[in-house]
Amino acid sequence: MTEIPEHLLKRAKEAKAKAAAKGGDSAPPGDGDGGGAAADGGDSGKIPAHLLARSQAARGAADTGGGVATAERPAGGAVATMPAAGAQAPPLATGPEGHTQRLLTVVKAGSIQDVKAKPMDKVHTWPHLLVGEFVACLAMTAFLLVFSAVVNAPLLSLANFNLTPNPSKAPWYFLGLQELLTMFHPMVAGVTIPGMGIFALILAPYTDRNPSTRPEDRKFAISLFTLFLMFWAVLVIIGSFFRGPGFNFTFPWNDGVFFDL
């Protein structure tokens, strides 16, 4: 026989004590814990009224030896169990203190094993990254091969040390430094300012420790890179198109463009 859990017995005793304190008018004193639970069920709604009525009807039928008929069945389909002649009616299975209801088990909501796959935001370098980089490298190599076979390189004539071109400009990727040399001392333009820029970029990952990969969440990093890119792009554009003979400032729409690739 399955025992009733301790917390349910404790709850029934509390209900019976509460019903006794109110006067005990709802059930006779000899009805056990079921009567106390019935008295409290009308107020708190812990045990439905139809279950209490069915339990009392079954207990009364067992005491008198009659059949069991439930009020939930229709009149034409009611079934009455009558004992055979000379046979004793089978006793109704009841638990401790006359309880006719059993609590089989308590099952927690949800499955025991979590079968949902957790999303991962990391992938292996091989093959996810290296395959893409290798394909991009092959595509770029093929493009440069075809481009170099079709288009001639814009080479100038042989250098003549007796004839210095005016203006004498560095390649476009060094024009930013050459532009700084026109504004500051060579030590400041060639060492201090570029060193400060590189040091600021080195400290950027330690300054902005935001782990998000969404651009709208990385305002500091995007602003820093945009500032660095615009600073260097403006210097290159000025040195390429706005510097004429003697590396003097000029307007390209008035004096022309003094820049060769």
**pLDDT tens readout for residues 66-100:** 544 444 444 444 444 555 555 555 555 565 566 66
Q: Hey, what domains does the chain have and what are their CATH numbers? A: 1-72 (no CATH), 157-255 (1.10.287)
DSSP for 106-139, please give it.
---SS-SS--PPPP-S---IIIIIHHHHHHHHHH
Percent of the residues in the chain that have a pLDDT greater than 90, as a whole number: 18
Token pair for 164: 């210095």
pLDDT given at position 92: 56
pLDDT given at position 257: 86
Count CB-CB contacts under 10 A for residue 181.
15
Task: Decide which of 1 and 153 is more confident.
Answer: 153
pTM exceeds cut of 0.85: no
- Helix (H) or strand (E) holding 190, with range, is none
Q: What is the mean pLDDT of residues 171-198?
A: 90
